[in-house]
Copies of this chain bind each other. A is one copy, B any other.
């Protein structure tokens, strides 16, 4: 049974379970089930990659109703590029889970993460589902977060308590990240659960807006996955009056949601494959937010910038070169660059303070790079990590 301290962050009415189906190497949890006692409102955000995994296509269909009650997730196999058999397997996983839970299959969502192009071991999954169902309530948030890990090195959970009227509700996010993280979410699975009642449209808008400035502003290696999914379930067990768009309670709810998605984004980047440093790139005074975002991503995705940070080298010339090929409107001789508190570039030329910036890089693991374009009023922040030998090793050996 769960200890009290493990229970307290699970929102009211949700039961969790985690199990093994030998999809990953034996001895590691690779299956998780999230179940709400009551049918819930549900909203989702999905990969924009044209190649979508079978479960993603399934969930995108189901979510049109805005209703759900369970999510079954596996790690170790992405069920992507698996053709008709893959589509069938995802549907069957939902159907089997629904049967065991005695709910409608339409209320069960399926998520997968792992290797692409390999058929799911359906026999092992099918046999694991009854036990997974019967053990509902025995797993902690951390157990679920661990079961969905691939190359992640630690489980990722963030919970918040907020007051809605005179009641205290819970919002909790569980996610996995690690590789293939790029704009538009990548191999990221995120499940946000809340006992607060939120109207369908408001829930969908809150998730979409929140994802835009969190999960869609992180990048590990510029690759975007076939599987990323963020789902939010609101089961209303708190008994508050349903939150609607543009209300005062919506703002409170949205703020807490943003803290969770931003916090989880930071955890994903900190756990980037092989990362030794966390990097925040802020572009200020751009002509539009879109240009600021584009510039920040160009710098964040530059292998040369990322290896320079890894090597503690304040090589701001590489930042300028990345800005130069980003396609945004800017002038070299208007641009200032700061690494940590150290201004290394003033109006496009060296300030001579590279040594101070090198020292800052050597002494810190959380690196801030600020680029001031001195053009307009828009800004954007993107989170990334450095590029290390370990990234190469992790990805060269992923399937072996």
Contacts and interface: CB of A to CB of B under 8 A. Distances in A.
A226 B303 contact: no
Interface in A265-321: 301-304, 307-308, 310-311, 313, 315-318, 320-321
Contact of A115 (B49, B302, B317, B398): B317
A191 interface: no
Determine which residue in A308, A325, A348, A389 has the highest number of CB atoms from chain B within 10 A of its CB, and name it. Answer: A325
Contacts of A389: 389, 392-393
A324 interface: yes
A108 interface: no
Interface string A15-40: 00000000000000000000000000
Interface stretch (A78-86, A123-131, A197-205, A244-252): A78-86
Contacts of A180: 304, 321
13 contacts: A51-B321, A52-B324, A82-B350, A115-B315, A117-B317, A119-B350, A179-B304, A180-B321, A226-B321, A303-B303, A304-B395, A308-B396, A389-B393
Interface residues of A, number: 65
Contacts of A80: 317, 320-321
A395 B308 contact: yes
A83 B321 contact: no
B81 A317 contact: yes
A103 interface: no
Given A221-B304, A222-B301, A324-B49, A350 B118 contact: yes
A400 interface: yes
B392 A325 contact: no
Listed from nearest, the 6 A-B pairs whose CB atoms lie closest are: A116-B317, A311-B396, A51-B324, A307-B395, A389-B389, A49-B324
A386 B314 CA distance: 26
Nearest to A317: B116
A122 interface: no
Contact of A400 (B117, B304, B313, B320): B313
A311 to B, nearest CB: 3
A400 B321 CA distance: 19
A175 B85 CA distance: 51
Contact of A223 (B325, B347, B396): B325
B349 A117 contact: yes
Interface in A40-77: 48-52
Given A51-B323, A304-B395, A345 B224 contact: no
Interface in A320-372: 320-325, 330, 332-333, 345, 347-350
